[in-house]
């Protein structure tokens, strides 16, 4: 099996060419294997300033933050201060959503495994003060319930903000302070930042996005999303070596490198175990645990999480049986193809398992009657309009709303073709990815009730 020094040499040799191939301004990476770490970086942290990336550069980790929030919650479970199956109102009596009966039923476990069932992409900005997560709960009062609590998986950013507030209330301190005191400190992290005021003290990456179609990537006009979404992944930044230090704790049954017990023995395994299955979505996991994304493959399961912020993308993959963790942090471009080439190679060369292949559309797709799928599926941040033209071709129009418009997202149209039972797939990739669109449920009139793209987006008017 490949050694870590072989790994370092391979990545150092290949990464610059991969960045150029996929238009990624910079990437930093780290590999943990049986307690040893190698890391590196290449490219530019900002194409405007020309500052080069180093192994100690900070990148935003986006929704990988959810694993940190889940760990903070599970510390409280370890201490006997939170019961996973008690209603979340036990700890947050002020928790309200549009469906009062559902709000009374939703548990901490449901929030951790994304089965709470309410609208999840709520990116309201409630200020930059330490009370921003507390104020965020007030924004949720009219948020609709999409399905009964516990019925199915639907990725839920807002649910993790609720968990962040739970941590604040039980600990009686702001979320960022909980991160620093209960995870950064015991893990011995030196290059991690809970927001821009800390990140600016390091070499920090800037995200790159296409501000206008066809104009090419440019540095994003803002560094981060709203602080109110910090527990879901809008702020946390770090170097890859510190991210794999966190992963090591989960691989070694809750122990930090110096032996400090950060989570109780057995808790990491509970977090990593399969709790809920997903429709086949290709890049996303096949199942989920208590925070952890899972890729269930016959040779040995891979776990981890991904993260996306404004022009920055992060990937964490762990193979518990091999004592392996791989972190890749990027700041723009075709990041999915880079991830697949780089992280896929590292997982295969350093373990006995592999990453699932990326889904691709069939070369000669079958023409179908899409009447079950046609319609408008509406969420807080976008509408997805599925239509079929007179030639039998199927299209999805993505119409951004609210915060996505503010972040520069434009309407988009893609052709979809048949891809398995009750699933369609785009003909053209986006950021190197063909994301399957799964149609689930029934509205009572023979139409799909949800379009599932990681989030279950409900048919308008159903």
Q: Which residues are catalytic?
A: 63
Give 79's contacts (C-beta < 8 A, 6+ positions apart): none
Do 370 and 389 form a contact (C-beta atoms < 8 A)?
no
> What is the spatial distance between Cα 19 and Cα 330, in angstroms, rounded to a whole number?
10
Closest C-alpha to 286, from 183, 332, 355: 355
Give 163's contacts (C-beta < 8 A, 6+ positions apart): 69, 70, 73, 108, 111, 112, 231
The token duo for 220 is: 């994003």
Strand partners, 349: none
Question: What is the tally of helices (H) and strands (E) in the chain?
Answer: 13, 21
> What is the spatial distance between Cα 254 and Cα 249, in angstroms, rounded to a whole number?
5
- Give the alpha-carbon dihedral of 67, 72, 78, 83, to 10 degrees: -90
The token duo for 341 is: 């080439």
> What is the spatial distance between Cα 387 and Cα 445, in angstroms, rounded to a whole number?
17
- Stretch (H or E) spanning 58: none
- Stretch (H or E) spanning 428: none
The strand pair at 237-238 and 276-277 is best described as: unpaired
């Amino acid at each position: 099996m490949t050694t870590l020094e072989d790994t370092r040499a391979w990545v150092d040799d290949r990464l610059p060419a991969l960045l150029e191939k996929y238009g990624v301004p910079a990437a930093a990476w780290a590999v943990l294997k049986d307690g040893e770490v190698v890391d590196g970086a290449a490219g530019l942290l900002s194409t405007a300033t020309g500052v080069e990336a180093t192994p100690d550069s900070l990148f935003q980790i986006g929704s990988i933050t959810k694993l940190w929030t889940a760990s903070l919650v599970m510390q409280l479970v370890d201490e006997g201060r939170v019961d996973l199956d008690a209603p979340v109102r036990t700890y947050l009596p002020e928790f309200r959503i549009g469906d009062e009966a559902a709000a009374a039923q939703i548990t901490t476990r449901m929030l951790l495994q994304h089965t709470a069932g309410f609208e999840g992409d709520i990116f309201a900005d409630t200020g930059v003060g330490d009370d921003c997560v507390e104020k965020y709960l007030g924004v949720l009062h009219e948020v609709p319930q999409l399905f009964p609590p516990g019925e199915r998986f639907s990725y839920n950013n807002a649910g993790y903000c609720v968990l962040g507030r739970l941590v604040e209330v039980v600990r009686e301190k702001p979320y960022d302070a909980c991160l620093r005191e209960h995870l950064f400190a015991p893990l011995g992290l030196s290059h991690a930042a809970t927001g821009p005021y800390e990140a600016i003290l390091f070499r920090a990456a800037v995200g790159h996005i296409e501000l206008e179609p066809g104009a090419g990537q440019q540095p994003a006009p803002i560094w981060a999303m709203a602080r109110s979404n910090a527990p879901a992944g809008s702020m946390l930044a770090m170097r890859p070596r510190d991210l794999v230090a966190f992963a090591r704790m989960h691989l070694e049954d809750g122990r930090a490198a110096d032996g400090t017990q950060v989570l109780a023995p057995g808790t990491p395994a509970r977090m990593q175990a399969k709790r809920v299955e997903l429709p086949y979505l290709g890049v996303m996991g096949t199942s989920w645990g208590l925070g952890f994304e899972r890729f269930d493959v016959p040779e040995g399961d891979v776990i981890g999480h991904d993260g996306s912020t404004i022009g920055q993308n992060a990937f964490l993959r762990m193979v518990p049986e091999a004592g392996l963790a791989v972190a890749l942090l990027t700041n723009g471009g075709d990041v999915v193809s880079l991830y697949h080439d780089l992280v896929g190679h590292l997982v295969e060369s350093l373990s006995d398992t592999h990453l699932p292949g990326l889904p691709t559309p069939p070369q000669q797709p079958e023409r179908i009657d899409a009447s079950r799928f046609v319609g408008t599926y509406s969420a807080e941040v976008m509408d997805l309009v599925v239509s079929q033209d007179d030639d039998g071709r199927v299209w999805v129009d993505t119409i951004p709303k609210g915060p996505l418009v503010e972040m520069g997202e434009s309407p988009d149209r893609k052709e979809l073709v048949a891809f398995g039972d009750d699933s369609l797939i785009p003909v053209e990739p986006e950021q190197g990815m063909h994301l399957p669109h799964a149609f689930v449920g029934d509205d009572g009139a023979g139409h799909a009730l949800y379009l599932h793209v990681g989030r279950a987006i409900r048919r308008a008017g159903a």
